Each structure stands twice: as structure tokens, then as C-alpha cells.
Structure 1
Amino acid sequence: MRPARTTDDGPPGLLRAGGRALSDLVLPRVCAGCTRPGAVLCAACRSRLARPRLAEPRRHPPGFPPTVAAGAYAGPVRPAVLAFKEHGRAELGAPLGTALALAVVAVLAAVPAPAGPVVLVPVPTAPAAVRRRGRDQVRELAAHAVTELTAAGLAATVVPLLGRAGRTRDSAGLDAAARRANLAGRFHRLPVPLPPGSRLVLVDDVATSGATLTEAARALAAGAPAGPAEAVLAAVVAATERRVVRPAPRRSPATFTVRG
């Protein structure tokens, strides 16, 4: 006898969703970033995701697209993103999607182009991760971001333009070179027609080494139909901050004082 499916499509998924709703009634709601009671993401933590910045991986991979993050992947932002991504707190999709929409607007403003419909292209999540989580968190974020962008009067839509093939290792613990090798050739562009003049914006939850966005941008460009080259931009909720190594200050030659 096969075990019951654990996706949200059947009774087990409904039971899990019902359990989450019941826990929200019984347990006090706390901020996913700083654990203060009262909101899923408090005002102070939200403000950390309203500081658009250029994402700059420490070892800038060749082909990394122009990318804007709504905030730094540090402090309370990190546990908030992980709570949404790994711990089933789907209610965080709205505030994190708002942050993603801000990053989309910022990158479009930073790289001027002829006006046209904005197409958000979610970076494909590994099938194993979707099965484990029961959902595709990047598509959820993209959908929330489109809602925000549309409400602001921007013509935007989500198009799953990339497919994913083969298996990849968990990227945790891999250095930048190993991450690039792990993702090489994993994405491919799907034959989906786009409106003329579309502005493509890759979207993901976080950017760390830049390997995922670089490979996704390469696949989009390689599979583009003949015609004017499409400019591929990217936006993420948060990105790791680039470490700046400052040289140690030069010390003057030692001096001695003779005390009498």
C-alpha cells in the first residue's frame, strides 16, 4: 500500500494547512525576523527590506546579470527568509513579495530600456526541494510581486520561462566554483512566446555566490529567439553583503622614550 501523498492537493495537505491555521489561533504570532509578538514581519524588520542595493557577489562570476536586492541577507532578514523558505510560513509571502517588487522597480530604473511589459521569470526550484517543502517558494514570491507591481500601475506578469534538468547537489557548504559547476547546464529556456518588447527580470529569494542567477541568465540568453538581444536583469529579496577587506594601517617605526 502506497503512503498518502503529502502535497497540498489532497487530504494530507488540507490537514497540514488546517494545523497551521489552528496553531495561529492557539499560539501568539511573532515576527519571523526578530521574534517580537504581534506581526508576521514587524515594521523594523520590513524596513530592512526597503533598502535596495546592487547585489555584488564576493567573487563576481562572469555573466552575472545586473541584480538588485531589496535588502541585505543578514540580521533578522535571514531568519525571516528561511522561515518562509524552509519552515512553512507561507504568510510571509506577502511582505517578502512586496520587497521583491521593490527590487524589480529598482533594477528597471537602474538599467533604462524602452517601455514594455515586465516579465518576471522565476528561477526554477529543484524538484526535490519542491517535494520536500510542498510548494515552490520562488513562484509564490513572484506572484505576490506581480500583485504589488500591477497595483502600482506597472504591466507585469509571471512567465515560467526556464526549465530545470538533471539533479544538483545541495549548495550548502559549496564554494563559489563548486556552485557554478553544480549548476552548469541545469537550466534551459522553454519555447514560450512573449509579448514584443518584454523586459525580462529573473527573480529569486536570495543571491549569495551569484552562481544560480548567472546560469539562469545564460540559459535565457542562449535560448532566446532570433532578433534584437533581450536585456536580462535580476531581482532578489536579499543578497549577501560583499566583504570589503581593508588593508591594515601602516605602523610607524617603533619609538622608545627614556624616562628619567
Structure 2
Amino acid sequence: MLRRVVEPLVDLVLPRVCAGCGRPGCQLCPGCAALLSRPRLATPRRHPDGFPPTVAAGAYAGPVRPVVNAFKERGRAELAAPLGAALALAVVVVRAAAGDHGPVVLVPLPSSRAALRERGRDHVGELTSAALRELRRAGVPATTERLLGRRGRVRDSAGLDARQRRANLAGTFVLRAPVRPGRGLVVLVDDVVSSGASMTEAAAVLLPSAGRHDTPVVAAVVAATPRGRSRPVVEPGPGVFTVRHP
């Protein structure tokens, strides 16, 4: 009852609008939420050598782009729940595509110190925590470990091609802790993949440690920049996850 009383009052002071399309009365409308329930393999235009198998919950285009940016850059932290559910869906699909049905270890890509200072928060960490809750709620054995750290400064990647981005990121990620045997499938997680340079560099740092235990490294993201026709991936089955529209 309290919620029924308080929410209309909040809407009067701070009207809620869909972060994707601007529809009033909701934070994420059903139509925009549905766009984050279409898993696909991420396919960078210039596929970097070493790019891990990566599944995105949706395309980083149309209404999905402002939804992600509202969460990432504009402080709309309430979007962590639906975006975390989308990330969890991508994790389940990449797990199935890898032929693995055991536990998963989510490894968030670390943001730069400058980005953390500018945003005042670790948005990838928030997404990872939300995805972890969704996975456990669905009965998927999952943990998260911050195996990667970040060092040094990189120049703005705007205008760089995939090879230049990879060179720009070389040496950026460091292994903070080794991959422990028997923990499960290692899944790198991030919000968006575009050129694939960051994900490729992060996978290259993890692979030597994971390879000692024959542990594959895959990746899952909320959205991927579309590069032509998407390739199909294994579906997780009906009713596993719902990207809620608060």
C-alpha cells in the first residue's frame, strides 16, 4: 500500500520516462525492454585476433543506446536491474553455446581511474552484481571475481581503427589474481562491445592463467554494436529470464 501511495507522489515531483524512447510513466517500457532480450554473437567489423566468443543481449542501436548511456553516463542507477537481467541472459546463452552447464565466474572489465572519478561509480561492477543476483535467482551457480586490474593511461580511442585500438590498450589490463581451478567457466562481462579491442586485450591477459586448467574464456555484454547480419546463438529456453521494465 505504501508503494501505491508513494510512487504517484514521486512521479509528480520527478516524472519517470522510458530511458530508451521517452515514453512517460515508466523507466523502461516493454518495447525497449524487449530489444534487450534478443541475444546474438558479437561480430566486430574487423574481428581482432584473439577476440573471445562474446554474446550480447541486444544490439547497441536504436533505443538501446540511450538506455545504456542513461545508466552509464547520466546516473540512472535504477536501470541496473533490467540491464543486469539482460547481461544475465547473455551469460546463460554464451554458457550454453560453450557447451558448459556448470558454474560460471563473472569477471568485470575494470574501468579506468579517470572514468571512475568522472562517473563517481563503478557501473560495470553494478551491472555484474545485478546479473549475479539474476543468475542465482534462476538457479545458475555463479560467482564474481575481480581478476583483472587496470594500469596506465590510454589516449582517447575515438577515430582509431580496431588495430590501433588494440595497440592503444596494450598493457592496460593486468592479472590481479590467477584463475582458480574448478571455479567454473570464466565469463568476461562489460556493458558494450564495439571494436572488440578491450575484450580481446582482457582475454589475452586471462588466457595464460585459465589455460593452465583448461578453462575457456568467453564474454557476455549487454549490447554490441551491430555489424551487418547477426549470427544466431543457442537460445537459453523459454521463461529463463525476463528483462523487467520498472
State TM-score, norm by structure 2.
0.85
Task: Within 5 Å, give how 1:78-227 maps onto structure 2.
Answer: 78-113=65-100, 115-192=101-178, 194=180, 196-222=182-208, 224=209, 227=212
Give the Å deviation of 1:117: 2.1
**Cα deviation per residue 1:124-182 (whole Å; 9 max; x = unaligned)?**
11110000000011111010000000000011111111011111123233222221111
Aligned to 1:130, what secondary structure does the other structure show?
Answer: helix
CA distance in 2, matches of 1:118, 1:50: 20
Matched letter for residue 201 of structure 1:
V
CA distance in 1, matches of 2:64, 2:215: 32
CA distance in 2, matches of 1:172, 1:25: 40
Range with greater deviation from structure 2 (127-136 or 183-192):
183-192
Query: Which has the larger Rg?
Result: 1
Aligned to 1:51, what secondary structure does the other structure show?
Answer: coil
In the alignment, is the contact (CA less than 8 A) between 1:69 and 1:235 conserved in 2? yes
Alignment of 1:242 onto 2:227: yes
Task: Within 5 Å, give how 1:18-33 maps onto structure 2.
Answer: 26-33=13-20
Change (3 A) 1:60 1:225: closer
CA distance in 1, matches of 2:201, 2:170: 7
Aligned to 1:216, what secondary structure does the other structure show?
Answer: helix
Aligned to 2:154, what secondary structure does the other structure show?
Answer: coil
Aligned to 2:47, what secondary structure does the other structure show?
Answer: coil
Aligned to 1:215, what secondary structure does the other structure show?
Answer: helix
Segments of structure 1 that go 5 or more residues without pairing to the other structure are: 1-21, 245-260
Q: Find the partner of 1:75 among 62, 80, 86.
A: 62
In the alignment, is the contact (CA less than 8 A) between 1:116 and 1:197 conserved in 2? no
State TM-score, norm by structure 1.
0.81
CA distance in 2, matches of 1:125, 1:165: 10
CA distance in 1, matches of 2:165, 2:10: 37
Matched letter for residue 43 of structure 1:
P
Alignment partner, residue 3 of structure 1: none
CA distance in 2, matches of 1:84, 1:225: 32
CA distance in 2, matches of 1:33, 1:221: 36
CA distance in 2, matches of 1:225, 1:51: 29
Alignment partner, residue 243 of structure 2: none
Aligned residue pairs, count: 221
**Cα deviation per residue 1:175-206 (whole Å; 9 max; x = unaligned)?**
22221111111111112563615210000000
Aligned to 2:222, what secondary structure does the other structure show?
Answer: strand
Segments of structure 2 that go 5 or more residues without pairing to the other structure are: 1-8, 230-246
Range with greater deviation from structure 2 (226-235 or 57-66):
226-235
Alignment of 1:48 onto 2:6: no
Change (3 A) 1:25 1:220: farther
Alignment partner, residue 47 of structure 2: 60
Aligned to 1:70, what secondary structure does the other structure show?
Answer: strand
Change (3 A) 1:27 1:77: same
Structure of greater relative contact order (alpha carbons < 8 Å, 6+ residues apart): 2
Give the Å deviation of 1:25: 5.7
Give the Å deviation of 1:23: 8.1
Give the Å deviation of 1:89: 0.7
